[in-house]
Amino acid sequence: MEKEFINPPELMKHPSYSRVITVKGPCKFIFIAGQTPSDDKYQPVYPGDYKKQYEYIMDSLSLQLKAAGASWDDVVVRRVYTLDVDALINVMRDPTTKKYENRDTMPTSTMIGVTRLTNPGFLIEIDLVAITDA
Amino acid sequence: MDKQFINPPELYKHPSYSRVITVKGPCKFIFIAGQTPSDEKYQPVCPGDYKGQYEHIIKMLTIQLQAAGATWDDVVVRRVFTMDVDALQKALRDVKRPENKEFPPTSTMIGVTRLSNPGFLIEMDLIAITNA
């Protein structure tokens, strides 16, 4: 598998995502369902707390990547849905928030403000696509 | 790489997207991050102007497709997020669309409450596939 990260000089180099990622050659695709901040009864964890829900989601995604033989370095698409974009951006920028992604291998990303997730207590949902060698 | 556009006759043939696209054989996947109508300081361009923001986004996505050795003809997935679906659809009637008219990508359009800056009215992300 051959992977390339492209950040065309005409566009601002964004610190938290890659603009373009290309992949060719034999590879394994890993699709991860939207992860919500939910416990083993599918109830919200850390009600109202963006930072804790974010870290809980990212920890849960780390588990799933590992289960598929992948790491955060392999993530090529990250989609983030949240009830409050500003609250989440503040948490992601906060230096005390746990860091998961490697600066040199940031995925592409889309962040969207939404009116509701599957439980009214879920503040954030993140789904991923990762690609590793076949 | 073998690519097929399928529009099953049981479904309405939509003028601006394909229903199904299949790809097989050696290929290169190109993932492009959600493009917002942002300048080099990540501030909104063309405030309040759906047409102007759409055209800016298309210009930026074209640069990125080119940088990856692709064109709009290679786009297989297009996701469009907007603060006002009606306003965007109205604006789209007066703009030149970059997609191949005969073989457009698949598409999903979604109305949202906010993008990463309150001045961003539209965001679009793409997946393209070319020969390896």
Q: Where are the domains of chain A?
A: 2-133
pLDDT at A92: 95
Note the pLDDT tens digit of each residue in A64-92: 999 999 999 999 999 999 999 999 999 99
pLDDT at A93: 94
Which residues in chain A are closer than 8 Å to B110, comparing Cβ atoms?
112
pLDDT at B89: 97
Note the pLDDT tens digit of each residue in B30-76: 999 999 999 999 999 999 999 999 999 999 999 999 999 999 999 99
ipTM of the complex: 0.94
Note the pLDDT tens digit of each residue in A28-54: 999 999 999 999 999 999 999 999 999
pLDDT at A5: 97
Which site among B75, B113, B117, B123 would you substitute to test the A interface, given the most A Cβ atoms closer than 10 Å to its Cβ?
Answer: B113
* A11 near B CB under 8 A: yes
User: How does residue A56 score in pLDDT terms, banded at 50, 70 and 90?
Assistant: very high
In CATH, what is the architecture of A2-133? Answer: 2-Layer Sandwich (3.30)
* B79 near A CB under 8 A: yes
- How many Å lie between the alpha carbon of B33 and the closest alpha carbon of chain A? 4
Q: Which residues of B65-96 are buried (b: 16+ CB within 10 A; e: fewer)?
A: bebbebebbbbbbbbbbbbeeebbeebeeeee
Residue B33's closest CA among B105, B122, B127? B127
User: How does residue A118 score in pLDDT terms, banded at 50, 70 and 90?
Assistant: very high
Q: What is the pTM of this model?
A: 0.95
Q: Phi, psi (5° rounding) for residue B59?
A: -60, -45
Tokens 């054989």 found at? B25
Which residues in chain A are closer than 8 Å to B129, comparing Cβ atoms?
none
pLDDT at B26: 95
Domains of chain B with bracketed CATH: 27-131 (3.30.1330.40)
In the DSSP assignment, the letter for residue B114 is B
Note the pLDDT tens digit of each residue in B70-108: 999 999 999 999 999 999 999 999 999 999 999 999 999
